[in-house]
């Protein structure tokens, strides 16, 4: 059995350590960018931005579709022994319908408390945002490339057939990483449907990690969200978005190895016209409650782009479900990154996205600063889900 690798979860150390540890015996090693939010924790009750507040902030509460008929996959390493009961408790606490959940082990993954927190976060966010989807957790036997990437293949292959795959993990970039891009390039699931891949951009501030820098993966950064109202709203359909700023831990930058796709130019032309820029998009990555009884005693508030990757995967699961219910039915999105950037370049950008224009993730000047339009901290920005849903529903491919 491969020896589990120490989880590095200190924001200031994450990207400083990862490049030195990205290779182990010829293997790439990956880590989940999730951390416990600073400040008091209450294991008996959730604190932070609750699911119904998240939904109202971004407009999920105005989307009629809940993901029925589609599968979202969360791929992680090692095993979370209590995830099924933890998810049931989480769903019941927030009055969600019991989510259709299945855990799939690839090999014999041993339990790991660090990854269990990541797994709880991923699965519970998917349940909160796409409660009627089929939610598949695929657990790899270790956090080595030789186990995680085959687990990604399992997620979209028959009989699971995910159309959205979230990977809340990453490691320092390496010249050999392009050989793994084939796991994401022009992939269809066992039903012949296109698959969209999402990966966290990192939680150590400025810098890039793989697989979020793969040109075939959508890189997801993070923000800090303030609600317009902290008190319950008079209507379940009312929006509650206050403002956002870039989260200081949001990873981002220019890949030294991966080529830039045509859809990202001219958005990133300020920094590079030849190499891949990350992230592409963002959502809140701070102060989200998770219920985890394996590594923790119940409720814990977390931060990290580990939050934003499954959130976007869940959103696209709603879109794909909505497309399948149209008359005539439309196939799942097959060129999502292209579609998102085309909206960015269009006159509908600010209708469908929140442009994050303040905040930094380092002290490197323009590369570390959120600005008007695309930037290397938050990408295009965060979703106005109630509007972006309909835009993507009508996308040609």
In this predicted structure, which of 14-18, 296-300, 363-367 has the lowest mean pLDDT? 14-18
Any idea where the domains of the chain sit in the sequence? 22-393
Q: Tell me the average pLDDT across 369-383.
A: 98
Q: What is d(CA 79, CA 139) in angstroms, rounded to the nearest whole number? A: 6
241-246/286-292 β-pairing: unpaired
pLDDT band of 356, cuts 50, 70, 90: very high
**Helix axis angle, 305-324 to 385-393, nearest 10°:** 40
What is the pLDDT, as a whole number, of residue 33?
83
Instruction: Please answer whether residues 124 and 117 qualify as being in contact, where contact means their C-beta atoms are separated by less than 8 angstroms.
Output: no
Residues 283-296: pLDDT tens digits? Answer: 999 999 999 999 89
User: Sign of torsion, CA 315 316 318 323?
Assistant: positive
Where is pLDDT greater, at 12 or 280?
280
Q: Which CATH class is domain 22-393?
A: alpha beta
16: which DSSP letter?
H
List helix spans (H) across the chain.
14-21, 51-58, 83-93, 113-129, 145-156, 305-324, 336-345, 349-352, 385-393
Residues 32-70: pLDDT tens digits? Answer: 989 999 988 999 999 999 999 999 999 999 999 999 999
Determine what percent of the chain is predicted with pLDDT higher than 90.
90
Q: Is 19's pLDDT higher than 70?
A: no
Cβ-based neighbours of 236, under 8 Å, separated by 6 or more: 56, 61
Cβ-based neighbour number of residue 205 at 10 Å: 24
Q: What is d(CA 79, CA 148) in angstroms, rounded to the nearest whole number? A: 13
**Structure tokens given for 136:** 């598949």
**Structure tokens given for 185:** 């390039």
Q: Is 1's pLDDT higher than 80?
A: no
Instruction: Please answer whether residues 193 and 161 qualify as being in contact, where contact means their C-beta atoms are separated by less than 8 angstroms.
Output: yes
302 burial (CB, 10 Å; 0-12 / 13-18 / 19+) is: buried
112: which DSSP letter?
-
Residues 233-249: pLDDT tens digits? Answer: 899 999 999 999 999 99
What is the pLDDT, as a whole number, of residue 6?
33
Q: Is 21's pLDDT higher than 60?
A: no
pLDDT band of 26, cuts 50, 70, 90: low
Q: Which helix (H) or strand (E) holds 257?
A: strand 253-259
47 burial (CB, 10 Å; 0-12 / 13-18 / 19+) is: middle
**Structure tokens given for 169:** 């993990």
């Amino acid at each position: 059995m491969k020896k589990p690798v120490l989880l590095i979860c200190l924001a200031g150390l994450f990207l400083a350590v990862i490049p030195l540890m990205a290779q182990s015996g010829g293997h790439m090693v990956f880590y989940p960018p999730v951390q416990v939010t600073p400040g008091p924790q209450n294991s008996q009750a959730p604190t932070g931005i609750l699911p119904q507040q998240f939904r109202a902030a971004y407009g999920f509460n105005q989307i009629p579709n809940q993901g029925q008929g589609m599968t979202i996959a969360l791929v992680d390493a090692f095993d979370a022994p209590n995830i099924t009961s933890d998810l049931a408790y989480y769903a019941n606490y927030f009055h969600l319908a019991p989510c259709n959940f299945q855990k799939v082990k690839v090999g014999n993954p041993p339990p790991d408390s660090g990854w269990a927190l990541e797994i709880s976060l991923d699965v519970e966010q998917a349940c909160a945002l796409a409660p009627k989807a089929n939610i598949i957790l695929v657990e790899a036997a270790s956090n080595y490339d030789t186990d995680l990437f085959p687990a990604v293949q399992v997620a979209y292959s028959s009989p699971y057939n995910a159309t959205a795959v979230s990977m809340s993990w990453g490691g320092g970039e390496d010249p050999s990483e392009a050989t793994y891009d084939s796991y994401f390039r022009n992939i269809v699931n066992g039903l012949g449907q296109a698959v969209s891949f999402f990966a966290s951009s990192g939680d150590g501030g400025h810098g890039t990690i793989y697989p979020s820098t793969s040109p075939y993966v959508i890189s997801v950064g993070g923000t800090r969200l303030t609600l317009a109202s902290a008190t319950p709203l008079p209507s379940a359909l009312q929006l509650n978005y206050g403002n956002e700023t870039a989260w200081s831990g949001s990873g981002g930058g220019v890949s030294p190895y991966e080529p830039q796709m045509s859809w990202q130019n001219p958005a990133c032309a300020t920094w590079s016209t030849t190499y891949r820029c990350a992230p592409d998009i963002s959502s809140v990555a701070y102060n989200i409650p998770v219920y985890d009884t394996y590594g923790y005693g119940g409720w814990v508030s977390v931060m990290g782009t580990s939050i934003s990757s499954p959130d976007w995967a869940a959103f696209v699961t709603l879109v794909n479900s909505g497309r399948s219910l149209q008359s005539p039915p439309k196939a799942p999105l097959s060129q999502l990154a292209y579609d998102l950037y085309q909206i960015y370049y269009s006159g509908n950008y600010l209708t469908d996205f929140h442009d994050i224009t303040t905040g930094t993730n380092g002290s490197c000047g323009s590369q570390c600063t959120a600005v008007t339009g695309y930037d290397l901290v938050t990408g295009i920005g965060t979703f106005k889900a109630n509007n972006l849903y309909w835009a993507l529903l009508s996308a040609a491919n």
